[in-house]
Amino acid sequence: MAAAYLTHHQKVLRLYKKSLRHIESWCIFRDKYRFYACLLRARFDENKHEKDMMKATMMLKAGEEEFWANQHPQPYLFPDSPGGTSYERYECYKVSDKVKCTYQYFYHLEEKEKKKKLLWSFLFIVQNFGRKTLPYINGTRFSLVHLGCCTFTSHYFKEAMNPKCFCTRAE
């Protein structure tokens, strides 16, 4: 099966993105990066509506040559991207969809535990900052019932992990 050729538009977009990534490698500070990114965007926008394909192709070729001449010698690579330090490092720990379908009950419990941990972290914030009502969590608004019965001290896991004691659904 033969691969399709890239359109002119796709080539220009890829050149723009590569250029932005290399500017990011050259400029450490965010404000300086933003300035040069705006200048680059202005240069691309000048010729956005070019109708003559021969001229547009020549400009693209000149842009690629300029990119090649000015590219960073050691560009920043994200750790999880190809070529990064952690690329495919944790593939063996990822669970396939087939296994998730087989053990639906287990993964359902895991999701419930994640929601519970999120709720307890909100409760901790509420108790420390004095709010009476929690934000919405998955479409449900929670409120505090007994502010004084549970404290987030050394007995946190013993007392606060009892949902009947600490919070109920607001009606």
Q: Tens of pLDDT along 79-95?
A: 888 888 888 777 777 77
Say whether 95 sits in a helix, a strand or coil.
Answer: coil
Task: Give rounded-to-5 percent helix, strand, coil for the chain.
Answer: 55, 10, 35
**pLDDT number for residue 163:** 46
- Which tops the pLDDT comparison, 117 or 106? 117
**pLDDT number for residue 130:** 59
Query: Cα–Cα distance between 61 and 135 in angstroms, integer?
Result: 53
**pLDDT number for residue 133:** 52
Q: Domain ranges for the chain, please list them.
A: 1-94, 106-169
Q: Which of 65, 79, 76, 64 is nearest to 15 (CA)?
A: 64
Q: Is the pTM of this model over 0.85?
A: no
Residue 141 has pLDDT above 60, yes or no: no
**pLDDT number for residue 104:** 77
Among 33-37, 74-78, 97-101, 143-147, name the one with the lowest average pLDDT.
Answer: 143-147
Across the chain, where does the E strand assignment appear?
Answer: 133-137, 140-144, 167-169
